[in-house]
Amino acid sequence: MSQATKAADSLLPVDLLQRFDVPGPRYTSYPTADRFVEAFTGEDYRRALQQRADGAQVGGKKPLSVYVHIPFCESVCYYCACNKIITKHHERGAEYLEVLEAEIALHQQVLGESVNVSQMHFGGGSPTFLSDAELARLMAALQRTFKLAPDAEVSIEVDPRTADRSRLAHLRAIGFNRISFGVQDFDPDVQKAVHRVQSLEMVTELMRAARELGFESINADLIYGLPKQTPESFTRTIRQMSELRPDRIALYSYAHLPARFKPQRRIDASQLPPPQHRIDMLSSAIAGFMGHGYSYIGMDHFALHDDALAQAKRQGRLHRNFQGYSTQPDCDLVALGVSSIGRMGATYSQNAKTIPEYYDAIRQGQFAIVRGLALTRDDLLRRAVIMALMCQGRLEFESVELAHLVKVPEYFRQELEALRPYEEMGLVTMEPGAIQVTARGWFFVRAIAMSFDKYLQADRTRERFSRII
């Protein structure tokens, strides 16, 4: 057993893993998206965009990121909780592309042309549902409004079943420099149980091609807690993934919520691993990846030691956005496409979740926003606290006090008291003017951050969230 594996095992006592096997937010934003309200409209979003264009944002103009949601998939993965449309009719992509171009034009009317962008991401669904020509057309439309910085991160999620080497070469040629493969598990029985069959050989060949084509970063997603998974089978998947050496690995906990997500009703609940097996899988994954030279970034992210994300973690430069941990500084986010969630200044917003509603709004020349949130002073303060803990693992009282004109010990008296048990468990260190998350506490940082979530304090119904462990 390597020193990294031993270290991971010692940091994750079974009793703590069992204690924190509870639902909780992932904090890709605060407040979380379930707190958005329908009173926030497209006009509110337009005003937030205009404030950015006019340079009237509080705290100055932030860097800009762009997210594009492509909802279509050819077949359904039973575990999926994403907003998607299952269809083999690829002609639907052409109509969707036309509406996306109209939505981009709406943003151009307010923001102007050649708006500098430091990050662009295509997600889904399966973005590679679109043809090569359609993806090229979409990139051209985006670049008429948004000017990519020379060092911009331009990434796309790829379903390995929809790609080959020539397809990856096309993605690289039209400007993508980062790629993410949805893998979930390499075990054939698990793949059949979730209706997503793709061989290890297929993924191996695609990763090899991506490296040869010059993609700057390769990411792979895994999920633990799926039907028919066992600690032994998942340990094998961890080893196989580690040997493929993607730059980054995202490891997610499966949340079985069939009442909310219809595809999950096709999963036989009796085949789901019991809680103790889930805990064993998480523990072995952390130990396995660290033992193979990956750094544990936090929550669900691992990265090779020399990757930019691992460097940012070591240097205290981590940030967090709707895509998870990032090296990008705190930024505004233009979100395009059905159901997309964006951030502009001190607001969050979400597009219509259905295609007819989304199409109707855009074709009428209106933003398709159906809900959102204008953050209050308390929201902004708590967001700063939660993101400091989630990203830097340390909260300096003075920096928060200067920015928000409060006294942390007074404003957060109850929250600080609620952290005392975590201090006794060795998860945090309470200093006179700071909170420090310990090495062990970093594995449970979601639970620590939850102590400062005002909405959770008022509403203890958490089953809508994935489990912390």
Do 144 and 288 belong to one domain?
A: yes
User: Facing residues of 146 across strands?
Assistant: 115
**What is the greatest pairwise CA distance in the chain?**
62
Q: Are residues 85 and 231 in the same domain?
A: yes
pLDDT value, residue 5: 45
Strands 248-253 and 301-304: antiparallel
Domain boundary among 286, 320, 335: 335
Q: Using CA atoms, how far apart are residues 16 and 7, in angstroms rounded to an integer?
A: 16
Q: Under 8 Å CB-to-CB from 224, ≥6 apart: which residues?
A: 234, 251, 252, 253, 254, 278, 281, 282, 285
Q: Which residues are documented as binding site?
A: 67, 73, 77, 79-81, 124, 157, 184, 196, 221, 255, 341
Q: Tell me, yes or no, whether 17 and 60 share the same domain.
A: no
The token pair that represents 359 in the structure block: 């199409």
In a shared domain, residues 254 and 382: no
Identify the domain boundary among 285, 314, 335. 335
Cross-strand partners of 172: none
Interstrand relation of 64-70 and 332-336 (parallel, antiparallel or unpaired): parallel
Is the sign of the CA dihedral 102, 107, 111, 117 positive or negative?
Answer: negative
Q: Could you give the CA distance from residue 401 to residue 386 in angstroms, rounded to a whole number?
A: 14
424 in a domain, yes or no? yes
Q: Are residues 268 and 414 in the same domain?
A: no
Same domain, residue pair 257 and 115 = yes
Count of domains observed in the chain: 2
Which of 345, 400, 406, 402 is closest to 372 using CA atoms?
Answer: 345
Query: What pLDDT shows up at residue 4?
Result: 45
Q: Does residue 357 sit within a domain?
A: no
Q: Which residues are annotated as a binding site for S-adenosyl-L-methionine?
A: 67, 79-81, 124, 157, 184, 196, 221, 255, 341
DSSP 71: -
In the three-class reduction of DSSP (H, G, I as helix; E, B as strand; rest coil), residue 296 is classed as strand
Peptide bond into 31 cis (omega under 30): yes
Domain for residue 351, yes or no? no
306-310: long-range contacts, CB 8 A cutoff, minimum separation 24: 307/217, 307/247, 307/248, 308/217, 309/248
C-alpha torsion angle, residues 194, 196, 200, 204 (rounded to 10):
-130
Q: Is residue 29 part of a domain?
A: no
pLDDT in tens, 300-316: 899 999 999 999 988 88
What backbone phi and psi angles, to 5 degrees, belong to 319?
Answer: -130, 170
Specify whether 193 is located in the same domain as 318.
yes
Measured distance CA(348)–CA(45) in Å, rounded:
8
Which is nearest to 263 in space by CA: 352, 190, 196?
196
Task: For tokens 């929250």, name the residue.
Answer: 415
Alpha-carbon Rg for the chain in angstroms: 22
Residue 242 included in any domain: yes
- Identify whether 468 is part of a domain: no
Give 269-301 as a 3 state SS string. HHHCCCHHHHHHHHHHHHHHHHHCCEEEEECCE
Q: Pick from 280, 313, 335: which residue ends a domain? A: 335
Give the CATH number for residue 164: 3.80.30.20
Give pLDDT, residue 10.
Answer: 58
In a domain, 177, yes or no: yes
| CATH for 404 | 1.10.10.920
Question: Which CA distances in Å does 95 have to 68, 92, 174, 368?
Answer: 15, 6, 21, 16
Q: Is residue 355 part of a domain?
A: no
Q: Which two tokens stand for residue 460?
A: 């203890």
In angstroms, the CA 185 to CA 395 distance is 36
Which SS3 state, helix, strand or coil, does residue 298 take? strand
What letter does residue 398 receive in the DSSP assignment? H
pLDDT of 176 reads 98
What are the per-10-residue average pLDDT scores of the chain (469 residues)?
49 74 84 95 96 76 90 92 89 96 97 91 94 97 93 95 96 97 96 96 97 97 96 96 97 89 93 91 91 89 93 88 82 95 96 97 98 97 94 94 96 96 95 93 90 82 60
Distance CA 25, CA 123 (A): 21
Same domain, 259 and 381: no
pLDDT at 465: 65
Domain that holds residue 54: 37-335
Which pLDDT belongs to residue 1? 45
| CA–CA gap between residue 128 and residue 137 (Å, rounded) | 13
Considering the domain architecture, whether residues 325 and 398 belong to the same structural domain is answered as no
Residue tagged 């544990």 (tokens): 296
Half-sphere CA count of 297, side-chain side, radius 13 A:
28
Which residue has 């929550």 as its token pair?
299
Tokens of 99: 């509406």
Closest CA to 210 of 249, 238, 245: 245
Give residue 60's pLDDT: 60
18 and 69 inside one domain:
no
Classify burial at 417, counting beta carbons within 10 Å of its beta carbon; exposed 0-12, middle 13-18, buried 19 or more.
exposed
Q: Directed axis angle between helix 231-244 and helix 275-291, to 10°?
A: 20
Question: Token digits for 96?
Answer: 């969707």
What is the distance, to the nearest Å, from the Cα of residue 211 to the centroid of all Cα atoms in its chain? 23
Binding residues for [4Fe-4S] cluster: 73, 77, 80
Q: Which of 451, 469, 434, 313 is nearest to 386 (CA)?
A: 451
Whether 263 and 307 map to the same domain: the answer is yes
Q: Same domain, yes or no, for 300 and 400?
A: no
Structure-block tokens of residue 396: 């300096």
